[in-house]
Structure 1
Amino acid sequence: MSQQQVKNNTLFRNEVYVLTTMIIGTALKFLVSMQYARILSPTLFGEFVLTLQILDFLKPFNQWGVFYALTYYVPYYLENNAMNYLRGFLIWMWRRVFTLSGVAIIIGIIMAAFGYYLFFLRPETTKQFHLFFFLIWLIPLKVCAGLLNNLLNANKNYLAATISTRIIFFLLLNLFLFTIYINLGNIAVPLVWVIAAYCLSLVLIILVQQVVLVKSFRRTIIRFKPKYNIPDWNKKSNQMFLMGSVLSAINMVDMLMLKLLGKNSYELGILAAIFAVLLPLVLVNQVIKIVISPLIAPIMDHKEYPKLQKIINNTNLYKTLVLICVAALLIVFGKTILGLFGKEYIAYYPQFLLAMLGAVIYSLFDFSQMILTYGEHVEITDKLLVAQLGCIILLDVLLIPAYQLTGAIAAIVSGEVMISVLSLYYVKKFHPIKPLSVI
């Protein structure tokens, strides 16, 4: 067996292992969403999910592009055995994140104090914003967990990364939420306990990730004297910051606009449930990003286009087959699955099908965006994402007042179709690569 065949087989095994792990994790995440919906009212369920998305939107300000710069530089330094620069990059990265975390914590304390003031003096205002005020300090924890997870992936510890964040985290959260659910009659304010369960699960998972990294990663670089290339690192992080912040905005803008422009507050919970049921489709993309993203930068740097095309072809074949199977199952059983959240969710099956269409299209075209991002065209990705965000906001403003939830979903689907087509166009313009090829 040739060396290339061995690499292809290893890549396939990694994808299978990660896919298997994430299937289990997705099932656990779905159970978490279902327990949220059963413990909280549809309105409060939607508010809680929206608050978590707002926190995710603010995460890029706590790491300023480091997430994506890490995915670019760490595999590159490992591939070229540049351990001195790797250690220097990691030291620079953590200093940057800890500094920004200190700022976030100070802002969080101020916001919590302001929320405390509103809670006692202006409860009608707090009703809309108290979750955000009291949870903003979670941002550094979420950033820390994300960085540790990206480090594990960049070091090709795919299983350790996915097991910790996709299985252990959601398993712990499910256990805590189930305990809350069976004691619901004795709990005065269930939301407080739900927040506590989420926070405790996050802290425990950070500890698990840190233990794995110390054992498998830190020992390989600790003996090297750090070297620094801070101007390049700052430049790449600044470029990636815009992309990360816009991506986070896209993930939350539909729910935020529905909250601001919608007439029925419970539809926020319906939208959160629809997103939860679509997790199996999102799962396919997440697996590909975890395994493939760290490989793209070194390959593109050496212009090994045939090698990258082979990876794309193999991955697209498996991805297409999985998408067809998952989409068929969701069409047949989607209404039943929505009913698990509550009977009131079943009536929104048509909106669910519309959202599923957008998820399928985005999954099929997602390779184009990854190639642009890690192929030295991140500025084009930034422009496309800004255009997508603008398109979604404009359509939300036009459609939500008249069509409510259906309008919000139509806006996000339109944005997904737009960026998919434009990303494909620019990849074909700048690179001799066929992102949709399976042959």
Structure 2
Amino acid sequence: MRFSATQTAEQLLAPPVYRRMRPLTQMVDAAWQGSDEAAVARRMSLIAFAIRIVSAAIAFFSQVVLARWTGTFDYGIYVFVWTTMIILGSLSCFGFQTAVIRFLPMYRRQEDFDRLRGLLLASRLFVFISASIVAAAGIGLVLLLGERIESYYVVPFILAFTCLPMLSLGDVLDGTARANSWPVRALTPTYILRPLLLLCFMAAAHIAGFAASAATAVIAAVLATFSTALLQLVIVTRNLDALYPPGPRKTDMAPWMKVAVPIFLVEGFFFLLTNADVLMVGLYMRPDDVAVYYATVKTLALVHFVFFAVKAGVAQEFAARSGAGERDSLQTFARQTVRWTFWPSLLMGAAVLLLGKFLLGLFGAEFAAGYPFLFILVAGVVLRASIGPAESLLNMTGNQNICAVIFAAVLALNVVLNMILIPRYGLFGAATATAAATLVEAGLLMFVVHRRVGVLMFVFAPSKPGEATV
């Protein structure tokens, strides 16, 4: 067999699977070349990817420690309460955390610094006040319901509601940093610092002799959330003050809310959809079952973080290319993001299935019961990755209304399937319902993106002639 002198080692040695991975390797090579907006987006995605790898490991380790420290029952209580808080914290932003990403790059390009400064201040004040109102209402509802709630949930819920404004503030600071292409300042506080502080406060509680209960775990999470949000507020504010000149602020709440409310519906439905299975298991089954299912979902997060990493890096680039004169550029870039999402997700999915029983066993011997469900859930995540960050493309191109409708329909389907399958099949039913809803979601998003934006966001869709692969 003869080889040309111009053939590379990759061409000679790379197996078919590796050649399939060439879009990813080319992305890594190209990410650090050039200073155009596409290169910035690639760098943001890669930095976000690296942060999410580290954060996934830290979060996984912290949950293992928490599960072993509190035991299955109390860990299940903590999981149900804290998952509810994460959802409510995002919902309490009413879409402003993403509206900032939509408007800030536009104002920066137009040098409309009056509106930019107004947006930065208004977004933070709005989410803090709205989340405080939701928190007060939540505490009042828990006290009002009284005996209708299982007694072991009352105190953890009341404690958790106290940090809801900080969770929402952290979300809008994340969006502000992403809008300025600051991935480290956007993601590090929530995904690295907060779980590390959670571990530190848990260790302090253990040393101080506090009971290893769900309430103690929630207190540790609340303290970690307050510390993280306040530190992020100081850092991001200082950076913004240095970047944008001081001056008057112009508040344009009407156009901001016109965009934010549909995005609120989209992201609200998305968060509920992402966590619906955990919540439904919590409603129908005991905390022990919630604990096993959540441990399986946290193991699955080692795959799912790829999607969120790419999404974090490309949203502002979708917004920047949404002008009428950049349609071809937007379509090409959108197809590239699908490849960035799918192939790493496929590799991580295979690795998680290979090591799944061992990883679940770290939580405790009883958690290994979740391993069979992992196959169903991984299949759903990989399928979802095959269309890339399609909902971000819709949100950033003015199609947030139809995106909200899609997620509402899929959420309703997910809830109905869980209501039917969980009582009959338990945790297997929850996993099946989630995977089935994910299949419908991917199909609807792919169809609507093709109709509205003119791009077929599917990893195996043929590229246009002459289209770049990265």
Q: Of 145, 152, 160, which aligns to 2:170? A: 145
Q: Is the 8 A contact 1:40 1:190 kept in 2?
A: yes
Superposed displacement of residue 102, structure 1: 4.0
Superposed displacement of residue 370, structure 1: 1.6
Give RMSD over aligned pairs: 2.5
- Which structure has greater helix proportion? 1
Superposed displacement of residue 111, structure 1: 4.6
Which residue of structure 1 aligns with residue 390 of structure 2? 368
Which residue of structure 1 aligns with residue 62 of structure 2? 32
Which residue of structure 1 aligns with residue 414 of structure 2? 392
> After the TM superposition, which of the residue ranges 362-371 and 301-310 deviates more from structure 2?
301-310
Pair 1:15-2:45 in alignment: yes
Q: Is the 8 A contact 1:26 1:283 kept in 2?
A: yes
Which residue of structure 2 aligns with residue 49 of structure 1? 79
Which aligned pairs between 1:331-346 and structure 2 lie closer than 5 A?
A: 331-346=353-368
Which residue of structure 1 aligns with residue 182 of structure 2? 157
| In structure 1, distance between residues paired with 2:181 and 2:40 | 11
Pair 1:291-2:313 in alignment: yes
| In structure 2, distance between residues paired with 1:266 and 1:167 | 27
Which aligned pairs between 1:294-305 and structure 2 lie closer than 5 A?
A: 294-305=316-327
| In structure 1, distance between residues paired with 2:149 and 2:139 | 21
Q: CA offsets per residue over residues 71-111 of structure 1, 9 Å max, x none? A: 21112212332211111222332342243244235335535
| In structure 1, distance between residues paired with 2:116 and 2:150 | 48
CA distance change for structure 1 residues 320 and 96 in 2, over 3 Å: closer, same or farther? closer
> After the TM superposition, which of the residue ranges 99-108 and 391-400 deviates more from structure 2?
99-108
Q: Of 316, 319, 322, which aligns to 2:341? A: 319
> After the TM superposition, which of the residue ranges 22-31 and 311-320 deviates more from structure 2?
311-320
Q: Is the 8 A contact 1:42 1:266 kept in 2?
A: yes
Helix, strand or coil for the counterpart of 2:322? helix
Number of residue pairs matched by the alignment: 430
Q: Is the 8 A contact 1:258 1:268 kept in 2?
A: yes
Pair 1:409-2:431 in alignment: yes
| In structure 2, distance between residues paired with 1:95 and 1:166 | 23
Q: Is the 8 A contact 1:88 1:226 kept in 2?
A: yes
Q: Is the 8 A contact 1:87 1:222 kept in 2?
A: no
Please give the TM-score of this superposition, normalised by the length of structure 2.
0.84
> What are structure 2's unaligned runs of at least 5 residues?
1-29, 464-468
| In structure 2, distance between residues paired with 1:189 and 1:330 | 29
Pair 1:6-2:35 in alignment: yes
| In structure 2, distance between residues paired with 1:380 and 1:429 | 11
Which residue of structure 1 aligns with residue 243 of structure 2? 220
Pair 1:251-2:301 in alignment: no
CA distance change for structure 1 residues 130 and 175 in 2, over 3 Å: closer, same or farther? closer
Which aligned pairs between 1:228-247 and structure 2 lie closer than 5 A?
A: 228-247=251-270
| In structure 1, distance between residues paired with 2:56 and 2:108 | 30
Q: CA offsets per residue over residues 189-236 of structure 1, 9 Å max, x none? A: 533332222122112212221222122112333523222332211211
Please give the TM-score of this superposition, normalised by the length of structure 1.
0.90
Superposed displacement of residue 124, structure 1: 7.9
- Letter of the 2:160 counterpart: L
Helix, strand or coil for the counterpart of 1:234? helix
- Letter of the 1:77 counterpart: Y
CA distance change for structure 1 residues 265 and 169 in 2, over 3 Å: closer, same or farther? closer
